[in-house]
Structures are given as C-alpha cells and as structure tokens.
Chains A and B, each alone.
Chain A
C-alpha cells in the first residue's frame, strides 16, 4: 500500500519494542463483541491508475460550467481564477500545515490571515474581520447569533431578499440557540418591507445586497431605522466581486457584514469548500465568532503574527464560547487573498465593471425576447426574469440546446409561488456568443 511506510519486518520489530505479541494485543481494550475479524464488504486497495479511472468516469458524467453557455449564479459564481492562485495553494507548506497553533513555525499562514483580514475589512468598509467562516450562509447564521449576544434581544428580522438557503440555514442554526426569526416574504423589492418589521425587541435586521433577485439596494435608511430601534444591521453579499463597484456595507451603516468569498480565488466545487467573510465594527470584536489573527512582536522585537483574542473560542471558553467553530476555510482564504492581491483595487474595480457590463449585455439581449420580462431594475451581474411558463421547464428545454439558462427561483423556494421566475447571471467568463445563443434559444422556446 503506497501510503503506508511500515514493512512487515518493521511491524514485527516494533511489536517487540512495545513488548506485545501481536497487533491484536494493542486493541485489547475493544470489547470482544465489537472486534471485526474480517475485512468489510468493500473493494480492496487500488493503484493510482485505477482510482483515477473511476473518478474520471464520475467526473465525465457531469457537465462543467465551462462546457458551454452557462448562466447560473444564486450564491455561487463562475469566475476566472489566475493560475498562480492554484499553484501557490498547492505548496506543501500551505496545503499540508495545520491551524497555526505554533506561531513561530506558522508565520506564512498567519501573515496571510492578517492580509486576508485586512482585505476583508477594506472590502466591507468595516474595521475588523475574522480569519474566515465555512461559507456565506453559516457566516450569516453566526452574525445573527452575534447580534443576540450584543443586544441581548432575541428577534431577528430577515429580509425576503435574502437567499432562501441562507435564510433556512440561519433559521435552523440561530433558532436552535433561541432566536425568534421573522422571515419576510420573498419579493423582488423585499427591502421595502423591512423597516416596518423592526420593533423594540429586534436584535438585528438581515438584508442582502445585491439580493437574491440581483437587486442592488442602498440600505442606509434601513441602517438608520435599525439603529434607532437599538438593533444591528447585518448586510449579506453572495457575490464578493460586487464590492469592487458598489458602496460597501460599512459605508451604508452596516454593523456586521458577511459574504460568500467563493467568487475570488475559489472554484465552484459543486457548493464547497467555500469561504465565509465576516467583518464588523471594532467595538463588537469581542463578540465575534471564529479565529482572529493579530500582530505582535517576538522575543527580539521583530514583527510577527499570532492567533489572538482566543478567550472567545471553544478550546478556551468551552460552553461559554462565542461559537463552536474550529476548523474554518484556511486554504480557501489563502486562495482569496492571493487572487485579490493580484487584482488589487484597480483589477477588482475593472473586474466588477466587466461583470456588470456583461450582465447589461445579457439584459439587453433577453429584453428583446418576446415573453421575457426583466424584473430587476438595478443589478450588478445577476438579475431575475419572468417567463411565460414554468422556469424549471424552460431550463430543462434549453439544456437540450446546450445552454444552462440559470437557476429557477422555485428550486430555492418552492413555496414562494414564483415558478415563472428565473435567476440569470453573467460574469467575465460569459461571451457575446454565449449570450446570443441563450437569447436565440429562448426566443425559439418561448415563441412556441
């Protein structure tokens, strides 16, 4: 077995050093009834070639996003990631290291985390950011629970523009901790209904921009209303590239910003691993979940970085911790930081403008198709359209034309009664040819 260095001779000699007769003696504490003498009913070991063959055949049964015109977004976006990113994250020293518990021999990881935190704080327009969460949806749930700790109130008002899977995740996790979640109905302009749902018991208001229908909102007014009521504003963003073009959550009054960072540095990976971004106002830092990297000095006065404020965390505070999170998304955060370092402010802005431009091009093409109604007035790189019939059926029909047309809203929220709504996204990877093929195919289908 190629991954196991011990030889039979090693094993025999080592048993001798230990002073036992057989390997079974080392498992003597296992109750006899639970010891399995036989091999399990699973295949025997296989060579690299055989494993690669099997995995490749499974991969070949899938249609990658890059195989043709592709317009799915709704929380995961296909972007081009520079080759440098994947090369660096496969460096042994990054790939095969653990959480940086021994800072003297983990400065590589720690300095990257410090850069990551600084980048996330800058993007979100807030003062501090943590060293990553699992993904945007779990970051959202954690933000709601953090608001409960800060305000000592139990009610969360969740906009109907929040991605339904984020809302469900938040409902599941935060409700278990005793939060009362008020989920407003899904609507294109859901943000308009948020302010009147805020009351004196509200711990936080959760608003997404661009929202799940792609609508970009200035949430400043919601921030004012939340703050007047003594509540926190949590702003959620599922498309991190949008920060390059749009006003930041902090600029609009957010107290906590959470985002899905997948778009920068990370592939689609069928939904994970992704990287949750989590930032907040400095005064709230001691209620933050997750790891924080901080600057300090070593015994000779040289700058270095360590994990810090860990008295918030589970391994120190146990049942009084701010969160139970331990393993997070370290390597995905590294990919994010490298990609964003390559982009820089100029590149990110250009990338965001390019995304927006492609989406405008897509909007213009689809708006000309008979029976298509554009629902999203102002969008970044994603918008909702209304079709004459069932959106899921249209997606299936267009698949036969080689086009993945987008995400039917009914897949995210079957109960919303919006079966004719389709979410479509364009990024820098979308070509004019893709857009023309989509519009032509849709015209053929809806014209029938």
Chain B
C-alpha cells in the first residue's frame, strides 16, 4: 500500500550493458558454492545426539585415534549448500531432456510417496518372512505384470540396474549351456550399434565378443549373423528397438537362426518403452531380457541411479535364475534364498538381498496408474513424439535413416553440419544456451557424429514445438556461419565448457587441503 508511494521506481530502466559482472562474483540467484571442506566446519555438527552411557574402553587399541578429516555443517548451512548446488542441475522437471537411450520421462511424485510408506521404506531385508508378506506380495505382483507385458514365463527380480541385469542374463545362459553339455561355447555376438554395457558384460562373464555388421538401413545384417553363428556361439545380444531407434524387422528370423545354432537370444530391453503394451518380446523369440525399471517404468534416475534391472526369462532358462525369488503356497509368500531343493540349478546370487525394493514400489505404482490401456498409450505417444521430431527437424538436419518411421527416438547424423565448422559437440553445447539438455551425442557409434533424440511420451506438443523451434534456429545459425555461437557454447550455463582433458591428465579425485592452499588440520572430536 505504501511501497509505491515512497519514491521507489516501479518500471525498469533500459540498460545497454550486456556483459554485466557483479562486484563480489555473485550471479543473482545462481550462487557460486564452496566445497563442504572449505566451509570451516571441522568441529561442527548438524545433529544433536543423546550422550552415550558406555565408553569404548572395551575396544582397546581397535579404536581410531587419528582424525578422519570430515567437516560438519549446521542444518541451515547444509540445507543452503545442497539447495544451491541443486540449482546448477538440469532436470526433467525443468525442460525436455532428450537423451536418447536414457528415457528421461516424468517421474510421478505419488510413487515417491508410496516408496516412503513405513511398510516399505522402514522394512529390514532379513526381518522374519511373516513380517514382510506385503513386500513379498508386491514383488510377486510386479513380477506378474512384467511377465504379462513381455509374454515371458519367469523373471529374476534381484538385478540392480540394466548392466547388472545383462550380467544376470548371461550368467543364466552360461549355466543353462553348462547344464546341457554346451559349456564349451565361448562367443557372444553383439551388433556394432550395441550399448557399451553389452560387450563389457559379455567380457565380464569370460566370453569373447564378435561384432555383427549392420545393414545400410540400420538393422542387424542377417547374412553376417548367419555366417558368424557357429557351435562356439553361446548367445547373441541384440537391442530391440535398436540403438538407432529402429525396430529389427527380421527379429523373428534372428531368433530362429540363433536357436537353430544352439545359442540363446539375449535382448537388451533398454528401449522397451517403445513397445510396451503393444509387442511382447516373448513373441519375438527372446530368451532373456532385462527391463530398466528406471526407464520404461519411470523410477527417477537420481543423477545416476539407483535403477533396477529385472530379467525376464524363457522356460528354457528359468530353472537357472539366481536366488532369491518369491513363491506362494496358498498360505502366504516365501522367499527362496539358497540354492537348495527346487533351487538346485540356480546359478548363484547377484547381490546381498532381494533387489531394488524401492524401485519395485515406484514401478508398481506407475503400472497401476497407467493400467494396460495407459501403458499401450505410453508406447504409442513415445513413438508419435519421436516421429514428430524427426519430421519437424528433417528439413534442417539429416536423419540417419530417413526411410520409414522410427520408434521412440529419432537419430540424426552430422552430414548437415559439413562445411559449417560446427561439430555435433558444439551443436549440443549450444542447445544448453537455448534451455534444453543436449541429446545423446556420438552414440550409436555406427552413425557419424550421431545425435540421438528421445523425447518420451510425457512431453506435450507445445514443449516439442518449443524444442524443435530452438533446434531449427540453431541449425540455421550453424549453416549461416554463426560459428562462435557454437564453438564457445555454452555461454549461459552455470559454467562454460569444461576442460575434460586436464581432468584426465592430472586427476584430482578428492579434495586435499594442501592442493587447496589451506591447512585446516582436522580437529578430533572431544
């Protein structure tokens, strides 16, 4: 009421200065933030604990005498520190996050709320089984959904991420071969377009990796596959839809040839989002496939995890699945935890407990919310959105595989940048200035300067249009010779382009007081 009557101007003056710098180094809401080790809290704590009644004298010389070197923060300092840091991140909640192969879709907050119910969040993995019946029921129901959606008879729930699922799948295959007198098989065939985790996993299990060529239209070269399938091949690992965003048209033939050679068909299910509710991998001849719950079923990626990677299995592989698993005997649910009795053929154990329960709760809530109808719509909208982007951008960029539809992601190469002096990397960094996270760059390896765009189904048409508009403007600028816009990008991010070569040449992986030029000798607690 009085604010406007005290001479305070209410309209901004036009200011011409464009590269304004503050006096103290601050940048408005975007604060530079020190490391916790530079904040002086060597004898500070942000928790108030009851005093201990007994000392540790009974432990004698096992007790640590040297200081640890951990700073502490009061609660307000900690809150401010981490909230400031959070503001330096891009996030799906801020804008389109079109990282191909990563499926960055909306993460419903209902799922977060459900995972935090005490009955799930405060449940000990070794609590007596009679006290965890609801948790076992949930795992059983989630398994039922996964089996139904994939048309596969069994699922190993314990793998903790996609790559862990791949490992589980290949170990299952290895165990099956050994049980069938085929343990001599030493080779796994992997297309050149595969995720890096595929060959890494195969090598991890002790297989040698042989690459399968790709056809000009971005699919597995069936002739090359047939030529390389031999009595030495244990499995093929094929992603479908593949990493070029294309459905493997000959997938049934791929499965048939593989089985004819006595090998198993492992499918990398990273792109299941594109076909969920419409296509069942079990109908395609797949023997094993991991499902990234953090992709298709939207458990949040959290800046790098956690994820979950259950593996659906064919009847031939099911007996070799790792412990533990849930069984139901009519009176209730039971965890089979060791390799005895019915579980005698289990190949072993993937991790200490029963898998990523926190992710199971979220994924199950997501499935119940969508239902069979919503999940089918998920696949349709994901594919529609990708094809829409492909159509809108094909006028200015070069699609890697222009003929026919793509699935859930649109792949472009860098042919259209030829002669511009702008690289895929430069283009991606310029997208940051336009307010978008770059697409996946330089992957798959089979496409030169690849740009893989996955919008997902949770983008509105308005956001897709906003994104395409920005990319069209950028493409026009690149072709018009506005090279500095790209080579120097990003200009508007919290930091300019970072020197990754320096980081690798002189690794500084932890904070060290001597390198920081300070000497905050850590103070041992009283």
Contact = CB atoms under 8 A, between A and B. Distances in A.
Number of contact residues on A: which range applies? Answer: 35 or more
Interface centre among A15, A251, A267, A333 (most CB of B within 10 A): A267
A216 B495 CA distance: 46
A428 to B, nearest CB: 7
B124 interface: yes
A131 B510 CA distance: 11
A374 interface: no
Interface string B73-104: 10100110111011111111110010100101
Interface in A241-300: 243-248, 251, 260, 267-273, 285, 291-300
B397 interface: no
A62 interface: yes
A42 B122 contact: no
The list of the 3 closest CB pairs from A to B, nearest first, reads: A344-B72, A271-B353, A59-B119
Given A91-B86, A101-B99, A41 B510 contact: no
Interface in A52-76: 52, 54-67, 70, 72, 74-76
Given A42-B375, A270-B132, A344-B43, 12 more contacts: A4-B457, A26-B383, A59-B120, A99-B301, A102-B428, A105-B437, A296-B502, A304-B498, A346-B45, A350-B52, A353-B52, A378-B59
B308 to A, nearest CB: 8
B161 A134 contact: yes
B304 A270 contact: no
Interface residues of B, number: 212
Interface in A337-366: 338, 340-351, 353-354, 356-357, 360-361
A418 interface: no
B373 interface: yes
18 contacts: A27-B278, A39-B372, A64-B118, A75-B125, A75-B352, A82-B75, A108-B86, A137-B351, A272-B357, A273-B160, A296-B508, A326-B196, A327-B294, A328-B306, A331-B302, A341-B78, A378-B62, A404-B127
A269 B352 contact: no
Contact of A96 (B196, B200, B292, B301): B301
Interface stretch (A43-51, A191-199, A226-234, A437-445): A43-51
Interface in A26-43: 26-31, 33-36, 39-43
B50 interface: yes
B27 to A, nearest CB: 11
Interface centre among A132, A134, A243, A378 (most CB of B within 10 A): A134
Contacts of B75: 82, 84, 342
Contacts of B163: 314, 324-327
A396 interface: yes
Contacts of A385: none
Interface string A161-180: 00101101101110111100
A350 B45 contact: yes
Interface string B347-380: 1111111111111010011011111111111101
B125 A23 contact: no
Contact of B134 (A51, A61, A315): A61
B405 to A, nearest CB: 4
A176 B205 CA distance: 5
B63 A247 contact: yes
Nearest to B370: A45
A327 B510 contact: no
B470 interface: no
Interface in B361-416: 361, 364-365, 367-378, 380-381, 383-385, 387-388, 390-392, 404-405, 407
A278 B109 CA distance: 31
A104 B495 contact: yes
Given A18-B391, A319-B203, A324-B201, A300 B496 contact: yes
Interface string B48-60: 0111111110111
Contacts of A329: 304-306
A104 B205 contact: no
B64 A135 contact: no
A11 B384 contact: yes
Nearest to B524: A345
A229 B52 CA distance: 42
A272 B305 CA distance: 12
Interface string A1-23: 11111100011011101111001
B106 interface: yes
Contact of A123 (B50, B58, B70, B102): B70
Contacts, number: 729
Contacts of A87: 79
Nearest to A87: B79
Interface in B305-331: 305-308, 322
A243 B63 CA distance: 10
A267 B280 CA distance: 35
Interface stretch (B4-12, B32-40, B226-234, B471-479): B32-40
Contacts of B82: 88, 91, 112, 334, 338, 341
A21 to B, nearest CB: 12
B322 A165 contact: no
B71 interface: yes
Contacts of A104: 429, 432, 490, 493-498
Contacts of B120: 59, 62, 269-270
Contacts of B67: 345
Contacts of A169: 348-352
B522 interface: yes
A90 interface: yes
A272 B355 contact: yes
B71 A128 contact: no
Given A66-B122, A319-B200, A172 B322 contact: yes
B50 A270 contact: no
Given A121-B510, A327-B304, A327-B306, A19 B496 contact: no
B500 interface: yes
Contacts of A34: 251-252, 279-280, 283-284
B46 A111 contact: no
B481 interface: no
Contacts of A341: 36, 46, 71-73, 78, 81-82
A94 B303 contact: yes
A200 interface: no
Contacts of B145: 42
A349 B302 CA distance: 29
A30 B247 contact: yes
B419 interface: no
A333 B352 CA distance: 18
Contact of B200 (A45, A114, A317, A357): A317
